[in-house]
Chains A and B, each alone.
Chain A
Amino acid sequence: MSDDVTFRVFRGEPDESGKPNGKMVDYTVEMDEGMVVLDVIHRIQAEHAPDLSCRWNCKAGKCGSCSAEVNGKPRLMCMTRMDEIMHETPEGQPILVKPMQTFPLTKDLVTDLEWAYQINQTIPPLSGPDEMNWEFDQIEADRVQEFRSCIECMLCVNTCHVMREHQLFGQFAGPRFFVRLANLEMHPMDEEDRIAMIKDDFGIGYCNITRCCTEVCPAGINITDNAIIPLKERVVTEYYDPVAIIAKKLGIRK
């Protein structure tokens, strides 16, 4: 397999108001066996456009840097094989590569992820006992380890309609950070309570469990069922469950 392939790549920067200002540019390069989308982008840089902007690091699906929208679908460029892409693209059509659309554009395929770092800062960290040598079972670890496999690629946030269509960045933590919150809330040694924040500051109520985030997660985390719904249940129990509220008043429940 050494066919030519044409990529139609977004090139541009934001205008003064911050809106993307650019155009789709066609590049044709030769393709080798086993290539992934990121390989083709690198070949375009090496042969046609050294200044084409794109983030990447590990090239093995472990760092979550090369998120983009390929043929309209959010994915990691390093883990998307070209034979899969060729298969889904109608014959003779170029392959469309765009940056994540939910985040502000920096340039070409690079977006500004400052929001993610800011919100992460506001989450109260793990708080457990001072003594070292913590003991807990693998079965307790399993539940949390699923969340620990998040590579912060932000594809889930990019896909979530609360973010993508409604841009509720200040009011909603987004799937990635519900995963982190679930990680902390379900940690076997954690003593902190973040339920009020999850309800008020992180706006978990905005999520109407359409599962779009779970579908695009390259780490295969069951975001909706294992992170978001259990957190929603905890909020409901704490604030809206009449039995639990009475039990609390009577001192039967914490």
Chain B
Amino acid sequence: MDKTYMTHEFDVVIIGAGGAGLRAAIEATKSDISVAVICKSMLGKAHTVMAEGGAASALSNKDPRDSWMTHFRDTMKGGKYLGDWRMAEIHAKESPDRIRELEQWGAIFDRTPSGLTNQRNFGGHTYPRLAHIGDATGLEIIRTLQERGIHTGMEVFMEYTVRHLFKTEGRISGCFAYNRVDGSLHLFKSKAIVLATGGITRCWSVCSGSWEYSGEGHALAYWVGAELGDMEFVQFHPTGMIWPPSVRGILVTEGVRGEGGMLTNSEGERFMFDYVPEMYRDEFADTEEEAMDWVNSIVADETPTARRPPELLTRDVVAKAINSEREAGRASEHGGAYLNISWRPEDQVKKKLPGMYHQFMELAAVDITKEPMEVGPTAHYVMGGVKVHPETQESTIPGLYAAGEAATGLHGANRLGGNSLSDLITFGRRAGMYAAKSAIEIEEFAEISHEEIEKVVEETLAPLLRKGGENPAKVVEDLRELMQQKVGIIRQGQQLEEALEELEAFREREESASPGGTRVYNPGWHQALEIGAMIDVSKMCALAALAREESRGGHTRLDFPVPDYSHWGKINSVIVKGSDGEMKLSHTRYPPIPDRLKEFLDAEDLHEDEEESNV
């Protein structure tokens, strides 16, 4: 088989063309350097396109009481205080300008009556904060960045998959990719690389992610020796479609609840009133009447004085509540909960949630303007990722940057809805800017080890040389089922240990999987190559989850059902590949929150009196 490869040289290589990658590319091209964007799908199709509800930023257009301080506070609180406070501060301060700038580049967000960018309510945000266009905000953001990006001089390598990152004398020096269309091989020499590769949720059988979410970015960083953090924290979005089976997991935007959608169980009860956590009790309505008052204000476009309905609690809380209702035998017909927006006039539902209307009409034959939807939790987002410097987004490997879902820090143990799109544009910009700065300081492209290149070439072509093995699709299906059963929304020590053992057994199956066919656009071959990354990121999640003996945000242990404030509530997990090749887990903590920021937080949430002396 032909092992030749083409060599390219780019000052900065950006891997991924979703919101973070494109925003990084736009920023990096402002310097006089060469920039390549490498992406697995065609331009404009990346996972960002699936985001629905909106991008959170304290523009204060809709409610003048909002400010970056409140956004900072909501983000830290929603993340159960395990987030990087400096990232949360930067995000809260910079995201408004990032949104305004998108409008100058062509985004057309919905307007307020005075003609400014409108903002929608979402879970965990004290004030209406999400800039949106109906329920297709992700499409708007990716299209805007695409249309801006193509005029910046960036070079796009579409339908390429990166297989390996190279280091030379400790610094990142390039990456190796193959072209999914014709099967050709490519070496990219570069002075800095930005990972904007999104998430890992394809590792679960019920997920809202596309095939792209196989975690290759996380794995690439791990393989090259970077530290990854918080990998136990996986967000199960409370509202995915559950029926019919073929659509299980497809996202139902939180915007439905932001627009007044109500959750009920099989007995018709609005069960969320029973699940308000202590830390949020003051901020949420006690009664259906009060919740209705709030909704009526929203519908009338007035600033509400009532407290919010409990459907707008953070995603971790709502997902677990739906799960508990099912355990208690009060599930909807197909094992979830009912979500009802049909009490609002038909034209309003169609205007505010056009995508949801079509999605349910066409895929489930349900008219959401007339009847309730059926929804249940779906693996949606990983809070964990590459550990980065909060200002520069540089990882622990010099020259390697990460932004968006591929990075960790901003969201702590649980991400607030709407904070992802704003994360992408805020930290995508920073990653692009600092990657360009560091690339400029380097004169020559570094030499890359031939031996290492040969090894990647061998590994990349290996599946095509096998005969008679398993269909890679079967291996992937079984791995996803394992993660769903044993590392899902509710976890237990015993099952996590089993998962770790069973994941290792997948390596043998990976090595024998045979797709058949040629190098030309061969999905079986592509899938065979993803299995290794999926095993490693799944293992990271299970390993970190086994260690964390408490429940917090996107990590719930049946055997340790409550949060532990004295120890686990103050430390973050770190995973790195040891010198022996084994996966190593340790724990660390962010620097103490400075007083200038602490004053915006709820003092009683911090549990400072419950400090362990020996952490």
In the complex, whether A222 has a CB less than 8 A from a CB of chain B is no
A108 to nearest B CB, angstroms? 7
Contact yes or no, A149 B139, CB < 8 A: yes
Interface stretch (choices B246-254, B433-441, B484-492, B537-545): B246-254
Interface-lining segment among B73-81, B424-432, B471-479? B471-479
Collect the chain B residues with CB atoms within 8 Å of residue A51's CB: 515-518, 522-525
Residues of chain B lying within 8 A (CB to CB) of residue A56? 210-211
**Provided the pairs A51-B515, A135-B116 are in contact, do residues A108 and B42 lie with their beta carbons within 8 angstroms?**
no
Closest to B251 in A: A60
| A57 lies within 8 A of chain B by Cβ | yes
A149 to B474: give the CA distance in the assembly, Å. 36
Does A212 interact with chain B (Cβ within 8 Å)? Answer: no
* A79 x B362 contact (CB < 8 A): yes
Task: Compute how far the CA of A55 lies from the CA of B521 in the bound complex, rounded to whole angstroms.
Answer: 10
Q: How far is the CA of A132 from the CA of B251 in the complex (A)?
A: 33
Cβ contacts under 8 Å, A187 to chain B: 106, 108
Interface centre among B139, B143, B474 (most CB of A within 10 A): B139
Residues of chain A at the chain B interface (Cβ within 8 Å): 13, 32-36, 39, 42, 45-47, 50-65, 79, 81, 106-108, 110, 113, 117, 120-121, 125-126, 128, 130, 132-138, 141, 144-145, 148-152, 183-184, 187, 220
What's the Cα separation between A148 and B138 when bound, in Å?
Answer: 11
Q: Mark B317-347, 1 if CB is under 8 A from A, else 0.
A: 0000000000000000000000000000000
Give the complex CA separation of A35 and B365 in angstroms. 12
How far is the CB of A5 from the nearest CB of chain B, in Å? 13
Chain B residues contacting A59 (CB-CB under 8 Å) are 210, 247, 250
- Per-residue 0/1 for B29-52: is the Cβ within 8 Å of any A Cβ (1 yes, 0 no)? 000000000000111111101100
Please name all residues of chain A whose beta carbon is closer than 8 Å to the beta carbon of B364 when the two chains form the complex.
34
Instruction: Tell me whether B139 and A50 are in contact (CB under 8 A).
Output: no
Instruction: Give chain A residues whose Cβ lies under 8 Å from the Cβ of B45.
Output: 57, 63-65
* Most chain B Cβ neighbours within 10 Å, of A33, A51, A54: A51
Q: Does B255 contact A (CB under 8 A)?
A: no
CB interface residues, B 100-123, toward A, < 8 Å: 100-101, 103-106, 108-111, 113-116, 118
Whether a CB of chain A sits under 8 angstroms from the CB of B581 is no
Known: A120-B150, A137-B111. A50 touches B516 (CB 8 A): yes
**CB-CB contacts below 8 Å: B506-539 with A:** 515-518, 520-525, 527
A221 vs chain B, min Cβ distance (A): 12
Q: How far is the CB of A187 from chain B (nearest CB, A)?
A: 7
Q: Indicate if the CB atoms of A33 and B111 lie closer than 8 Å.
A: no
Task: State whether A53 touches B521 (Cβ < 8 A).
Answer: yes
Q: Which residue of A lies closest to B111 (CB)?
A: A138
Q: Are A135 and B115 in contact (CB-based, < 8 A)?
A: yes
Extra inter-chain contacts (16) besides given A34-B363, A46-B471, A126-B105, CB under 8 Å = A35-B246, A52-B523, A55-B42, A56-B210, A57-B211, A59-B247, A61-B355, A79-B362, A81-B363, A110-B181, A120-B147, A125-B106, A136-B111, A137-B115, A148-B133, A148-B139
- Return chain B residues, CB-CB under 8 Å to A42: 473
In the docked arrangement, what's the CA distance between A166 and B110, Å? 39
Could you list 6 examples of A-B contacts with CB < 8 Å? A56-B211, A57-B212, A58-B47, A79-B362, A126-B105, A150-B143
